[in-house]
Amino acid sequence: MTKIIGLTGGIGSGKTTISNHLKSLGIPVYNSDVQAKKILYLPETIKSLKSVFGNSIFSNNLLDKEKLSKLVFNNPEKLKFLNQIIHPVVKVDFDKWLFENKNSPLVIKEAAILFESGSYKDCDAIISISVPQEMRIQRVIERDHHTYEEVMSRINNQWTDDMRKSKSDYVIDNQDIEKACAQTEDCIKILLNY
Instruction: Answer yes or no: is pLDDT of 194 > 80.
Output: no
Query: Number of folded domains in the chain?
Result: 1
In a domain, residue 159? The reply is yes
Contact call for residues 67 and 54 (beta carbons, < 8 A): no
What is the rounded distance in angstroms from the CA atom of residue 48 to the CA atom of residue 22? 35
Q: Tell me whether residue 1 is exposed, middle or buried, using C-beta atoms within 10 angstroms of its C-beta: 0 to 12, 13 to 18, 19 or more.
A: exposed
Residue 172 included in any domain: yes
Task: Give the single-character DSSP code of 2.
Answer: P
- What does the pLDDT look like over 140-173, one tens digit per residue? 999 988 899 989 988 888 899 999 999 999 999 9
- The answer as to whether 142 is a domain residue is yes
Closest to 6 (Cα-Cα) out of 30, 36, 24 = 30
* Closest-CA residue to 184 (of 41, 7, 39): 7
Q: Could you tell me the pTM of the whole model?
A: 0.88
- Is residue 30 one of the residues assigned to a domain? yes
72-120 tens-digit pLDDT = 877 888 988 998 999 999 999 999 999 999 999 999 999 999 998 899 9
| Spatial distance between the Cα atoms of 42 and 72, rounded to a whole number of angstroms | 19
pLDDT tens-digit series, residues 181-190: 999 999 999 9
Residue-level pLDDT at 61: 81
Mind listing the pLDDT tens digit for each residue in 55-77?
A: 989 988 889 988 898 888 778 88
CATH of the domain at 163: 3.40.50.300
Supply the range of the domain harboring residue 113: 3-34+93-192
Q: Is residue 69 part of a domain?
A: no
Return the closest-CA partner of residue 153 out of 78, 49, 56.
Answer: 78
| 148: in domain | yes
From CA 157, how far away is CA 24, in angstroms rounded?
31
- Tens-place pLDDT, residues 1-44: 899 999 999 999 999 999 999 999 999 999 999 999 999 999 99
Distance between CA atoms of residues 117 and 98, nearest Å: 18
Residue 46 lies in a domain: no
112: phi then psi, degrees, rounded to nearest 5: -65, -35
Task: Map residue 22 onto helix, strand or coil.
Answer: helix
In eight-state DSSP terms, residue 126 is E
Is 107 inside any structural domain? yes
Task: Give the model's pLDDT for residue 73.
Answer: 79
**Which amino acid appears at position 41 of this protein?**
Y
